[in-house]
Structure 1
């Protein structure tokens, strides 16, 4: 993660911070989001690390809207909850249409702003059918973060840079 942060700093981004070993980088950019920034960062990372890396960028406001729009029980102790962040121009409706039949009483998926919210009942998590979705081509335009990581990233954006 230190190399990842250095890559962003060397490219001129400010307030660069990383979160655990998650591949998440919080930084200041202008513009703050958009397909052009994602493409620029993908080129930067491939040049630096020699492999293609999917980049999905969300501004502070977009991330806050994602958290606010989550289903009421998303992130509850009874569930294992994730956010599937979609790379532009993939829409939530397009991604949702690719989902396999979910296991009733175990899986739930909801559409949000540029995301799909996915939860499974923690006690029955091994019964999920979402793994079929992860093998589809559409999944190459998605990055997944668990709910704790998602909310922690917003807290990092709202906290002091350092």
Structure 2
């Protein structure tokens, strides 16, 4: 069995696409997924599955969420091992993170998890929004982001769609907590 983390895009944000996590958990269990648990209200679900094809599993989850909740959402999947690598491979140095923390009005480090690696053209479109305030580094299907003056006022954050790849973003604390929960499931 593989431990997966499903990250739903755009649920329970600003009063839109509301899903109760207890109902989402029941839906995953009804689908035959094992050891299902949710983390906070932003659509994070950990579970085990024997299904090995990520794309098929992702599409099945999106269809079922659409049927049960009447919401069209993108589901981004990562395995527990992939999540561990996300945490281990943060491309920003401790010095860069401390400097960003000193100037930030809120959370400073985020990860945008993409369905697939972006094209060079998408990366070039996004680069127009890199600044002294906001920067990013791409590693495969992850975009690590520093927002020195908070995510809410960031032109980079609102233009991540320039990559032209469906994605969902989580702050660094959530990324670390999900990785820890996945480790516990694997133990």
Same fold (TM > 0.5): yes
CA distance in structure 1 between the partners assigned to 2:161 and 2:130 by the alignment: 17
CA RMSD of aligned residues (A): 2.5
Decide whether aligned partners of structure 1 residues 154 and 95 sit closer, same or farther in structure 2, where only a CA change above 3 A counts: farther
Taking structure 1 as the reference length, what is the TM-score of the superposition?
0.83
2:133 to 106, 112, 120: 106
Q: Decide which of 42, 46, 55 is 1:22's aligned counterpart.
A: 42
1:120 aligns with 2:147: yes
Unaligned runs of 5+ in 2: 1-20
Which whole-Å CA distance do the structure 2 matches of 1:43 and 1:21 have between them? 20
Residues in 1 aligned to 2:119 and 2:77: alpha-carbon distance in whole angstroms: 16
Does 1:155 pair with 2:183? no
5+ residue gaps, structure 1: none
**CA distance in 2 between partners of 1:49 and 1:75 (Å):** 39
Distance 1:87 1:60 in 2: 16
Which of 94, 106, 118 is equivalent to 1:91?
118
1:25-104 equivalences under 5 Å are 25-31=45-51, 34-71=54-91, 72-73=93-94, 76=98, 77-78=101-102, 80-88=108-116, 90-91=117-118, 93=120, 95-102=122-129, 104=131
Change (3 A) 1:93 1:63: farther
Work out which of the residue numbers 148, 152, 156 in structure 2 matches 1:130.
Answer: 156
Q: CA deviation at 1:95?
A: 4.4
CA contact (8 A) 1:86 1:92 kept: no
TM-score, structure 2 as length reference: 0.73
Count of matched residue positions in the alignment of Structure 1 and Structure 2: 157
Residues 18, 95 of structure 1: alpha-carbon distance in 2 compared, 3 angstrom cutoff: farther
Query: What SS is found at the alignment partner of 2:111?
Result: strand
Q: Is the 8 Å Cα contact of residues 60 and 154 (structure 1) preserved in structure 2? A: yes
Q: Shift of residue 29 of structure 1?
A: 1.1
